Structure 1
Amino acid sequence: MPKIIVLPHAELCPDGASIEAKTGDSICETLLRNEIDIDHACDMACACTTCHVIVREGFKTMEASDDMEDDLLDKAWGLEPNSRLSCQAIIGTEDLVVEIPKYSINMAKEGHR
């Protein structure tokens, strides 16, 4: 069973975490199920960037992002080459190390289009 190592985040996970994960679940679902309250303003419909994470280890073990996710990621705060929307990033069989960025942009709430 793979694990997700969550790097410390001042508000959501100050001490970091090591979480058992299920292959086939999204990173977002797994974080929420383990009381890491990552923002997901669109209810995981791939319509915002609030659940943006940076996959520090294990990025290549996941399925590639699709065009819709890539288009949204272009609008994410702090975008990096290993960025994913956690609602779309499906856990494979390998461990992942993820960082939740300090900020996120809620395009619906903040009036961005």
Structure 2
Amino acid sequence: MNIFKLKINFEEKDHESLELPIAEGESVLDVCLDNGIDLQHNCGGVCGCSTCHVYVNKGEDNIQEISDKEEDFIDRAINPRISSRLGCQCILIDGNLEITIPDQSQFMGH
């Protein structure tokens, strides 16, 4: 199994960017949760909501293609962009990935 790099940037200014290992077949959500990053996932990571919404900056060809169901949920996300994906659906196929996690404070009650 190949291990690649997942670079995570944050919209929240008090969070430093970081690089974590990600393996083929792993999702962005799994890597975040395994490393103590609070990426919201109200549905439990089954493509049933939009709270694990992320922006893919680089490496979009290295993850599974977007499904119609995922596109429907992204339409409901806060500030969706053309590069929006759901972290639970960003499953690595091959290669490095760089994402930005939108400001999560609207979920945290800060």
Q: Which of the five TM-score ranges fits, normalised by the shorter chain?
A: 0.7 to 0.9
- What one-letter code is carried by the residue in structure 2 that aligns with 1:92? I
Please report how far the alpha carbon of residue 104 of structure 1 lies from its aligned counterpart in structure 2 after TM superposition: 7.9
Secondary structure at the aligned position of 1:41 is classed as coil
Q: Does the 8 Å contact 1:73/1:84 carry over to 2?
A: yes
**What residue in structure 1 maps to residue 8 of structure 2?**
6
RMSD: 1.9
Q: Which has the higher strand share?
A: 2
- Tell me the alpha carbon deviations over residues 19-51 of structure 1, each in whole angstroms, 9 at most, x when there is no partner: 001110111001110111111011012111000
Q: Does the 8 Å contact 1:52/1:104 carry over to 2?
A: no
Please report how far the alpha carbon of residue 10 of structure 1 lies from its aligned counterpart in structure 2 after TM superposition: 2.6
In structure 2, what is the Cα distance between the partners aligned to 1:104 and 1:62?
Answer: 27
Gaps (5+ residues) in structure 2? none
Q: Does the 8 Å contact 1:8/1:17 carry over to 2?
A: no
**What residue in structure 1 maps to residue 47 of structure 2?**
46
**What residue in structure 2 maps to residue 26 of structure 1?**
27
Cα gap change, 1:104 to 1:92, in 2 (>3 Å): farther
Secondary structure at the aligned position of 1:2 is classed as strand
Gaps (5+ residues) in structure 1? 107-113
Give the alignment of 1:56-71 within 5 angstroms.
56-71=57-72
Secondary structure at the aligned position of 1:54 is classed as strand
**Normalised by the size of structure 2, how large is the TM-score?**
0.86
Please report how far the alpha carbon of residue 103 of structure 1 lies from its aligned counterpart in structure 2 after TM superposition: 4.6
Cα gap change, 1:85 to 1:105, in 2 (>3 Å): farther
In structure 1, what is the Cα distance between the partners aligned to 2:6 and 2:63?
Answer: 13
